Amino acid sequence: MLDLLQGVRVLEVALLAPDALGMHLADMGADVIKVEEPPHGDYVRVVGGTDVGGSSLLHWRWNRGKRSLSLDLKQDEGRLLFLDLVRESHVVIDGLRAGAMDRFGAGYESLRRANPKLVYCSLNGTGQSGPYQTLPTHGVAFDAYAGLSPPSFRDDDTPYIGDSTPVGIVAGPLYAAMAVCAALVRAKMSGEGRRVEVAEMDAAAAWQPRGVELAVNGVEASAGSMEAAVRYQYYRTKDGTFIIFQASEDKFWRNFCQAIGREDLLERGERRRVGDHARGDEELRAELGRIFAGKSRAEWVEFFMRHNVPGGPVNEPRDLIDDPHFRERGLLFEQHDAKGTRLQWIGPPVKVEGQSFSATPAPSHGQHTDDVLKNVLGLDAARVAELRRRGVV
């Protein structure tokens, strides 16, 4: 992990995708203590359909770098211990449905009395207000709500969830991490904490706002499909892979045509200074197709850099692993699980001078209970054993 939030302690009470907020903070160096309900904890360990080393890929990713404390907030003694931890912490993450923490007696109003400097972040699907506040929903529903995941249809017109890149569950934790960091700065300067909240439905709408903003401002969308574009398009290369060509500005189109010795192409199209995609010029498209088929993907990337022409490689995930830029940027980091299995994961895209990223593996449920109770709260072994006997931890 990096050291940007070193010294910041975070208590996370969350399930599923809101776990990613704690991941972002842990990646930046915060001590994130994941508070989990006995006896099973966060069921993210068994969902997602991708089992790696006995747990789901989602668990390994979202809970990396954290410590796990098994604590029953439904018991009075468990709530008292949680309040003690709040006094020793800077941030509380409420990653449950609206009102759940209040029912546990651990809502914001209760916690800020224990720690007035506390930053309290609520992150869930629907938010803390609005008519859908109590709607049980998750995952694709956030994108469907935001107009980002319309139905696909079978031949018999039966609707189904089509392939799409998740937005709400990714954007929500990122917005929340930004809010937490901003609130920490404010708390440091003013001595006062603050409650912030993010709804993953809101995050999905805000992340890709174009459709809503066009509609609300009464603007007709221009031809948005890129299928007809020619000077801003994918092309097949000599080795059967693909590049993206993006010479839609006049100066870049000129650079390209001159570099390949085809100045005759300069007069094609409207010759606008910017944004000339040469839409619908299928003759030019065919000519460019023949040109790009003459070099490999790597050769075209080198050509683009040498002649100042926008474009780049088009990768499948397996291609990206061997991409020299991806390798050089060091986004992958390595872990070994409890069984010694070597695992590799993508880390944060944040770079800090003089540091490289690593993170401890995602914890098993309650793995750090003794550590937290003894070293954060100062409880002795006999007290911890008694709490275990009574099922508080």
In this structure, are strands 91-95 and 119-124 parallel, antiparallel, or unpaired?
parallel
CATH of the domain at 168: 3.40.50.10540
Q: Of 324, 339, 374, which closes a domain? A: 324
Same domain, 76 and 49: yes
Same domain, 143 and 255: no
For residue 213, the model assigns a pLDDT of: 87
Q: Of 324, 346, 370, which closes a domain? A: 324
> Is 189 contained in some domain?
yes
For residue 222, the model assigns a pLDDT of: 65
CA distances from 183 to 92, 121, 191, 276 (A): 12, 9, 11, 44
For residue 330, the model assigns a pLDDT of: 92
> Is 310 contained in some domain?
yes
- Whether the per-residue pLDDT at 337 is higher than 90: the answer is no
CA distances from 11 to 69, 88, 94, 256, 372 (A): 10, 10, 9, 54, 11
Give the pLDDT mean for 7-26.
97
- Whether the per-residue pLDDT at 83 is higher than 60: the answer is yes
CATH of the domain at 266: 3.30.1540.10
pLDDT digits (tens, 9 = 90+) for 191-211: 999 999 999 999 999 998 988
Give the pLDDT mean for 172-187.
98
Same domain, 264 and 341: no
> Is 226 contained in some domain?
no
Structural domain boundaries, residue 277: 232-324
Question: How high is the mean pLDDT of the chain?
Answer: 93
> Is 4 contained in some domain?
no
User: How many alpha carbons fall within 13 Å on the CB side of residue 143?
Assistant: 18
> Is 224 contained in some domain?
no
- Whether the per-residue pLDDT at 58 is higher than 90: the answer is yes
Q: The pTM is what?
A: 0.92
Same domain, 319 and 335: no
How many domains are there within the chain?
A: 2
Q: Of 277, 305, 324, which closes a domain? A: 324
Looking at the DSSP bridge assignments, the partners of residue 124 are: 199
Cis peptide preceding 209, ω within 30 of 0: no
- Whether the per-residue pLDDT at 259 is higher than 80: the answer is yes
pLDDT confidence bin for 343, thresholds 50/70/90: confident
Same domain, 204 and 119: yes
> Is 257 contained in some domain?
yes
Residue with the larger pLDDT of the pair 339 and 188: 188
Same domain, 319 and 347: no
Same domain, 22 and 76: yes
pLDDT digits (tens, 9 = 90+) for 124-170: 999 999 999 999 988 999 999 999 998 999 999 999 999 888 999 99
| Backbone conformation region of residue 106, classed left if phi is above 0, alpha if psi is from -120 to 50, else beta | alpha
> Is 216 contained in some domain?
no
- Backbone φ, ψ for residue 279 (5° rounding): -55, 135
For residue 270, the model assigns a pLDDT of: 63
Strands (E) in 67-130, as ranges, are 67-70, 91-95, 119-124
Give the pLDDT mean for 287-311.
97
